[in-house]
Chains A and B, each alone.
Chain A
């Protein structure tokens, strides 16, 4: 059986699984963007305990493998009575993981706007929320967009780890299909090509953004 035939036989299932992978990545990104913002605000807050808690969150999630985090969300939380499906557990685990990286990106973006601009805006009588809305955020968003894109790409690739807690994503489907057709190498190459087709356009978009911010 060649690649053409194999693709003919498996593409319906593979594309359905790729769709599940996209949903997983998107859900995790949304969780990450929201939780990451909260962590970043805590990190920049005036309260010392909040700052420390945010720092611990970041260190903890960046210092341990995503796979171990998924094990804990899926297996350990079950043990103490919190039940998630493997798909939900993967989405939550990957989202909380991404939040740690996104929090640092937000912080860098907010800190990159010079303090003098905020002071100048206040000096001409702008209200605090107006300073944020019209001076800080428009510049910060431009700075964080490309790094957020990079996190999205990593997240899309990291969803493959979800297969190790049996979440029904593209990698898990690949495992099933390779034991059906006994052609593991060919199946994994096809799956690799699908991941590439999903990630490469994102990579190009991020590179374009990076070039634009630099000029």
Chain B
């Protein structure tokens, strides 16, 4: 099994593998970032809808949440992919993936945002009202800046989950990290080495992400103590 010719061949191919996987990793990072942006924007709207006094808005947001949280993301991606084609919109696979992960992520992030806003003491907004701030101003100037700090760990967890979930886009032929790895395997049959590299790259990316989040959280805490 460990004859040296096979090992030499694997070592020879290593730069090529890393090159291809590196490009895939960049696509994965881009896909994650774009989907995160969509999810944050839409998730924020959903959180406000759920917290709003309008019962209809809050009901719509709850329904959205239940549907997206109780169906596998892979199924959602396929429905979106074929649904878009059905109504005559042809997007490149990566575009559909950004929308799919964004719509799904919005359901998760809206819960993170909502619970963070809820943790802010009511006295804060009451004080803001009493000095004459409107509801929206109090939200923007008083509640949200504080809620943002509370939301960071939840957002980081979501980002790491998203990064890993983007591997599912390989099923829709998005040329991201996992897809590139599958191509390399069928091209060279170096299954073990390639999947080992694949797992290592994901591990590095998620560790970097979680350290970065922890640092941001620490830094904001110091500001709060001052």
Contact = CB atoms under 8 A, between A and B. Distances in A.
A84 interface: no
A174 B69 CA distance: 20
Interface string A187-203: 01101100110011001
B130 interface: no
B143 to A, nearest CB: 23
Interface string A135-170: 000000000000000000100011111011000000
Contacts of A7: none
A161 B168 CA distance: 8
B78 interface: yes
B162 to A, nearest CB: 11
Nearest to B171: A164
Contacts of B203: 59-60, 63-64
B178 A203 contact: no
A64 B191 contact: no
B interface residue count range (under 10 / 10 to 19 / 20 to 34 / 35 or more) = 35 or more
A68 B71 contact: no
B100 to A, nearest CB: 12
A189 B70 contact: no
A192 B178 contact: no
Interface in B158-207: 160, 164-165, 167-168, 170-171, 178, 185, 191-192, 195-196, 198-199, 202-203, 206-207
B74 interface: yes
A72 B168 CA distance: 15
B207 A199 contact: no
Nearest to B204: A63
A44 to B, nearest CB: 22
Residues of A in contact with B, size category: 35 or more
A188 B164 contact: no
A186 to B, nearest CB: 9
A65 B195 CA distance: 12
Contacts of B70: 153, 157, 195-196, 199-200, 203
A16 to B, nearest CB: 18
Contact of A192 (B75, B170, B195): B75
Contacts of A72: 195-196, 199
A158 B72 contact: yes
B165 A65 contact: yes
Given A63-B202, A68-B199, A184-B82, A80 B192 contact: yes
A74 to B, nearest CB: 10
A52 to B, nearest CB: 16
Contacts of A191: 75
B73 interface: yes
Interface of B: 1, 66-67, 69-76, 78-79, 82-83, 85-86, 160, 164-165, 167-168, 170-171, 178, 185, 191-192, 195-196, 198-199, 202-203, 206-207
- Which 9 A-B pairs have CB atoms at the shortest separation, nearest pair first? A160-B72, A65-B167, A199-B70, A65-B164, A157-B72, A185-B82, A63-B206, A63-B203, A184-B82
Interface of A: 59-60, 62-69, 71-72, 75-76, 79-80, 153, 157-161, 163-164, 171, 174, 184-185, 188-189, 191-192, 195-196, 199-200, 203
Given A171-B72, A174-B75, A185-B79, 17 more contacts: A63-B203, A63-B206, A65-B165, A65-B168, A69-B199, A72-B199, A75-B195, A76-B191, A76-B196, A153-B70, A157-B70, A161-B168, A185-B83, A185-B86, A188-B79, A196-B70, A199-B70
